[in-house]
Amino acid sequence: MRPRDFNRSWTSKFHVPTIQPVKRRPVRVTSYRDHEPNRADTLSSRYTHHKSVEDDFELEEIVGEGAFGTVHAARCRATSKRYAVKTRTADKKNGVPKLSDIVNEEITNEAMFLTAAKHENCLSLHALYIHPDDNTYSIVTELCHGLDLFEYVVDYYRKNVGIGMKERDALLVIKQILQAIDSCHRAGFAHLDIKLENFVFQKTEEEISKLNADLDSSPDSKPVENILKLVDFGSASWFERAGYAESSGDYREGFDDEYDLQKLTGTAYYVPPEVWQGRFSSRSDVWSVGVVAYTMICGVRPFENATHTKNMSASEVERHVEFNIRTNPTVKFTEPAWGGVSKETQELIKGMLQPASMARSSAAEALELINERLL
């Protein structure tokens, strides 16, 4: 059973539906419509609006709640296999497209990006149901049994009696996060809502311990590791052509360019300076990983002065963080926890939190640094 008693008050989601276009340096802007027919075909074979999700799946317990919908465990009536079902209302005021838009586009953004991200660290899509009668749609995906990363970090602090994760434990998690993000970027899109709550462990710690206890004792058998899955692709945006890596051999092209954002989405604490100004690139996700990494290791969010925010409401804290990121986005390692962390790991995080997206590490570069120098 996943504990549900964690206090999430230090995170909250904001959503601003539209922002004014801003001046930017000239870049190529692409639309997924230009190059996505194949993905739409792939997805349309898995989507239906002829029946309800509950015709095929029996909904069971709630496994998560986000700003836009509830996620249930569900059992497939035909095979008895368990999945996750996320149901959302198609409602413009929540920034979700109207159902007619969805049907016109054939697919929802979220389901489309879920099919595009093919990696073991990204959630995999099973089916999509559109329910025109009550203006909702349901996304059926693989079910994760473990904690989400927010819960995991709070649980880790509790078990280790203190705030902050050990450097190596944090790096093992950051590595999985970067693998997920790198795979999105290689597929040509940025996720744009990277945060602790949007990663979930595939298995519970008990399941992993049991698998390891059952391993035979031969020296070749490797311990089973829990796989972290990136979820919630509802804010993602294309920045480059589908299948670019395969066709050109140079998947990095387009990674550095900034593109205009259609709408500002995300969670204030994790939003990079360029996104506040209405632009994004693949490096916007890397900034958010920097925020996740910083927070996991020292237990305090960067760009928030905790003494100032002690008595503020959640929305006041968000405005305070936004102001700091817009005006002085230079990260400082002054918390006591940083005293015990290697210079290399601090450099890794500094590289991910470079204010100018062009100067920021890519996910692939950060991953290389972890694999070759830090783990």
| Binding site residues, ligand ADP, CB under 6 A | 63-69, 71, 84, 86, 123, 141, 143-144, 148, 197-198, 200, 231-232, 234
What distance in Å separates the CA atoms of residue 362 and residue 124, rounded to the nearest whole number? 24
Smallest distance, ligand ADP to C-beta of residue 65, A? 6
CB under 5 to 8 A by kind: which of Mg ion, ligand ADP, none does 63 bind? ligand ADP
**Strand-strand pairing, 125-131 and 82-89:** unpaired
* Closer residue to Mg ion (CB): 198 or 361: 198
Smallest distance, ligand ADP to C-beta of residue 141, A? 5
Contact flag: residue 151 with Mg ion (CB under 5 A): no
- Residue by residue, DSSP assigns 102-128 as HHHHSS-HHHHHHHH--STTB--EEEE
* Closer residue to ligand ADP (CB): 84 or 268: 84
CB under 5 to 8 A by kind: which of ligand ADP, Mg ion, none does 173 bind? none
Smallest distance, Mg ion to C-beta of residue 123, A? 11
Helix (H, G, I), strand (E, B) or coil at 369: helix
Smallest distance, ligand ADP to C-beta of residue 308, A? 28
Question: b/e per residue, 118-153, with b = 16+ CB within 10 A?
Answer: ebebbbebbbbbbbeeebbbbbbbebbbbbbbbbbb
Interface characters, 214-233, with Mg ion (x: CB under 5 A): ------------------x-
User: Would you tell me the crossing angle of helices 282-298 and 149-159 to the nearest 10 degrees?
Assistant: 20
* Closer residue to Mg ion (CB): 125 or 341: 125
Smallest distance, ligand ADP to C-beta of residue 264, A? 16
Closest CA to 1 of 58, 60, 57, 59: 60
